[in-house]
Structure 1
Amino acid sequence: MGAPHILLVDDQKEVTRVLRSGLESLEHEFRITDVPSGEEAFLEIQPGSVDLLVSDVRLPGISGLDLMRRVKEANPNLKVILVSGVTEEKIRQEVAQAGADAFFFKPVELPDFLDAVERTLGLVEAMLPSEMDAERSAVAKAKTEGASLAERIADLRNQVKADCVLLFSESGQVLMSAGDIPSFEKDLMPHLLAATGSSIRISKLLQASTPDNLLSFSGGQLNLYLKPIGDMYGLVIAVQAQNAAGIAPIENATNETVSVLARMLESLGVPVKSSTYPPPQSRELSTGELDSELVEAIEKENKQRMDKVEVDAFWAALSTQSSSVGFDSGALSYDQALQLGLAPADEEG
């Protein structure tokens, strides 16, 4: 078997130069060709003539995705690695669904790229599923887990016997709902947004990769439960207070639903995490004057506590002394001690 033929397609000459140098540093022998466009690559590829296509997604003329689809029709066994300078999760999902064997964002991490080349061509044994296989599995799972976001939200409402479930955005817009929206929703939303934001900030300060908090608010008629989805969306679940079966069943059902909704949103190209989320708000402790009435009440309570401690200590010491040396005829009587303020007064009632 001859040396594997690798075709590099990128309109940036520096990129193909770096990739070629990396490939030539491996112990394997390759035949490497590079071209700047998809049209030239299409002309270069004959059935069985290329073993691995490495292409940029964005090319002048036809895109890397279109190039891959066209050459795969004629050569289904062709291996493909795509790269892109556009760091959007939607691109990764499109690449995975199109059938690429591996995918890299620019700047390409050369050791990872070379490892992917060896695994894709079968030059080394792959111990784990490829990243694209994992991505395709996640997308497929998101699609099969529910026909729509609305059905998932409706399922959660039925599962926890809620009056309604709301999906809202970071701007406070209700994107989707199941059940009757509470009449006070408009008044409540600013406070829900504030609570969600605080919850997310606390999670970030605690170095949590994903906010995973369920906030519970008990009311006279309704109990509300608030759950972030990433840091850009959230769920509100309203349950009649008398129907609430405790927070554990609601938390379990909500955690499962949020996980599915996050995958479904991302599979639709809607990110649930923001790279520029506002930093935690800082607030210094107030150094203004303390409430004089509060200070006076605290001091009064402390004085009463100390007076009682001193009186108790006096009688304890006197009791110890009396038991060790006998009754002292010159000792104070209880009435005398009471008059001198050394004994606690009897409390009425």
Structure 2
Amino acid sequence: MTASSPHLSVLVVDDSPGVLLSLHRLLSPHVRVQMASSARAALEVLTPDTALVLSDVRMPGMDGLELARRLREEHPELAVVLMSDVVEDGLRRQARELGVLEVLRKPLQSEALLLALRGWLGIGLGIGLGGGPSDVPASPGVKRPAELQPSTPVLRGLELSFQAAQACVGGVNLLPGVLSSCVFGEQGELIAGSAQLPAQLGAYLGFLCSTSASLSTQLGGQMPMQAVQIEFGDRVMVVCPFGAGVLTALVHDTPAASGVKSWMRMQAGGLDQQPLH
């Protein structure tokens, strides 16, 4: 688990879904992001490419300090950074004794965190220094500042175009059983489709896709996540990665969702092979 890997990843550990979501949105354009909602889950999702663990201190069950202790014993070469809303001298002393690089105070400052990661991991994160810092976590509906926009995203390098998104949404809406559909961009912004859906939906769907994709490591390989289907009574939501964004459709029932999901997967597969302009 060294920072020299071209596929290095950062494992974020926090029992707050909001913190996980915000840190994923901040870090994923620059490094691969793994997520865990508890310290025990973090120990299970570690991979050889995990270069750094960024963990909350106060969590139910095993806390961040105990996690750092376990990591020092089992993975002494792995970098560990802790974060807490209360940072006292006693906490810093315990962290130093465990070999923790730093204890960061919540809410984290976006630009400061990225600069620190660049030093800890020994890589260039492509960030600018012109703007002021913004807090993490941020509202899922708020776009990332322009100075933090990646020049070369690591996870998915395709840029969504309005025309391609509109064409895809138009095709989905013609399928039997579809009530509405949307394409959301990398930052959760609406690219095409219904503007009546909640503004935060795109960010949460992106988080859902990323979480689902990380499960592939638990299935014995790096299989790409193709689609997620969620059933809500008589409504079904189908979600599929689409370039650097997310394609979603709300479908009337489960039988109709099967055909919609197949169509969406085919469209996403073709998009991955042809960069959009």
TM-score band, normalised by shorter chain = 0.3 to 0.5
Could you say which structure has the higher helix fraction? 1
Task: Give the alignment's TM-score, normalised by structure 2.
Answer: 0.41
Task: Give the alignment's TM-score, normalised by structure 1.
Answer: 0.33
The structure whose Rg is larger is: 1
Could you say which structure has the higher strand fraction? 2
